[in-house]
Amino acid sequence: MKTVVAVYTGQGLADPLKALFKELLPEVRLVNIIDDSLIGDVVQAGEVPPGVARRLVQYFHHGEELGADVILNTCSSVGEVAGAARGMIGVPIVKIDELMAEQAVAGYSRIAVLATLPSTLAPTIRLIRQKAEEAGKEISVVNGLAAGAFEALVSGDPVEHDAILLRTAVEAAGQAEVVVLAQGSMARMEQALQAATGIPVLSSPRFGIRQVKELLEQLQD
């Protein structure tokens, strides 16, 4: 039985990803490492502070010690740390949003990135630009920061959170061919956003687990 260790910076995505693993990789042993202080520190700093980076790399080492065949980094805000850690860890690290970014660049030239936090928006935009550069493709990226949505969610108003996301997505979609959701937790709104914008909407969880599955199959060959 193959083992996947998923590293989380918050609680919100653990149950949805567990369900996706059950659907797509039912034969895999899934181990979760969750430290919900990480995303709080990132939000407070507005970027990934050194202490968060150090703790995250420690968790990747723990994943290796737990017998992981693949480590899944589930948080886009810290994706650049996961990328840098690949040279330090002896097993592959999959970034949950990497395949999504590649697919967005492969299929579209005008890409809107929707996020509720600047600390997630900026690294996702950088990732998309990096993938475009690797593919030798010219793209334009539309900033879809849903200002106030995160605060609404934290204050216990998910309805307002969703309404702000919808309004921001519709506005950004006017300048784009596809909407990319920077946070995996937004995946639950994928269909509603696609209906509201009339253009394709991509979210990372299913893409991330698809990449894990492809990697596990390669390791078995």
The reported pLDDT for the residue numbered 57 is 97
Question: What is the domain-level CATH number for residue 72?
Answer: 3.40.50.1860
- What SS3 class is residue 164? helix
Separation CA 217–CA 63 (nearest Å): 19
Query: Other C-beta atoms within 10 Å of 92: how many?
Result: 17
Same domain, 32 and 69: yes
Separation CA 179–CA 167 (nearest Å): 13
| Count of structural domains, the chain | 2
Note down pLDDT in tens along the chain; length 221 residues: 999 999 999 888 999 999 999 999 999 999 999 999 999 999 999 999 999 999 999 999 999 999 999 999 999 999 999 999 999 999 999 999 999 999 999 999 999 999 999 999 999 999 999 999 999 999 999 999 999 998 998 899 999 999 999 999 999 999 999 999 999 989 999 999 999 999 999 999 999 999 999 999 998 87
Same domain, 107 and 196: yes
Same domain, 125 and 184: yes
3-state secondary structure 77-94: HHHHHHHHHCCCCCCCEE
Same domain, 31 and 112: no
What token pair was written down for 43?
């939000």
Domain that holds residue 105: 98-204
Same domain, 150 and 196: yes
The reported pLDDT for the residue numbered 29 is 97
Separation CA 210–CA 96 (nearest Å): 9
- What SS3 class is residue 84? helix
Same domain, 191 and 102: yes
The reported pLDDT for the residue numbered 153 is 86
What token pair was written down for 100?
């999504």
Same domain, 57 and 149: no
Burial of 164 from C-beta contacts in 10 A (0-12 / 13-18 / 19+):
buried
Whether the full predicted model's pTM is greater than 0.85, yes or no, is: yes
What token pair was written down for 12?
């919100």
Same domain, 102 and 79: no
